[in-house]
Amino acid sequence: MITRLTRMTIWVRNQEEAVKFYTEKLGFEKRADNEFWGGRRWITVAPKGQHELEILLEPVDWFGEEARKKSESVIGNQPIGVFETDDCRKTYAELVSRGVPSIFPPQQQMWGIEARLADLYGNQFSLLQPAQS
């Protein structure tokens, strides 16, 4: 039985620029930065205070040519997910002011107030203020 999701991978072209985007633009914190075989680095980030899930920023050049090509084709087309916030409009304005690309501004939906943004490679994610029950 699967009990929880603990990590997801986002393929990136450059780990350093990805870490900078996720920490400086989105305000995430770096959770792990470990060097292992071949000078590769295992770098994870997550929203501050959330310890159940980490995002691995994995560069496409870790593996051979065929795997690299497959991974490269996914960049900009990866589903990142939904990030919750207490105030979608305020958080959206803060992120856009930091240079985070907007897909659409906050809109009232049945499920809450939702905006769509993108990371530095074009991977889209939703910013959601859930509806009050």
Could you read off the pLDDT of 24-77 as tens digits, one per residue? 999 999 999 999 877 889 999 999 999 999 999 999 888 788 888 888 888 988
Q: What residues does CATH 3.10.180.10 cover in the chain?
A: 1-75, 78-133
How high is the pLDDT of residue 61? 85
Q: Which fold has domain 78-133?
A: 2,3-Dihydroxybiphenyl 1,2-Dioxygenase; domain 1 (3.10.180)
Nearest Cα neighbor of 5 from 41, 51, 37, 40 is 51
Question: Could you give the 3-state DSSP secondary structure of residue 90?
Answer: helix
This prediction has a pTM of 0.88
CA 58 from centre of chain: 12
Candidate CATH numbers 3.40.1650.10, 3.10.180.10, 3.20.20.70, 3.40.50.920; the one for domain 1-75: 3.10.180.10
Say which amino acid occupies 115. Answer: A
> What is the rounded end-to-end Cα distance, in angstroms, of the chain?
30
Interatomic CA distance for residues 125 and 133, integer angstroms: 24
Q: Are 91 and 83 in contact (CB under 8 A)?
A: no
How high is the pLDDT of residue 70? 85
Nearest Cα neighbor of 18 from 120, 94, 124 is 120
Is residue 86 left, alpha or beta, with left meaning phi > 0 and alpha meaning psi from -120 to 50? alpha
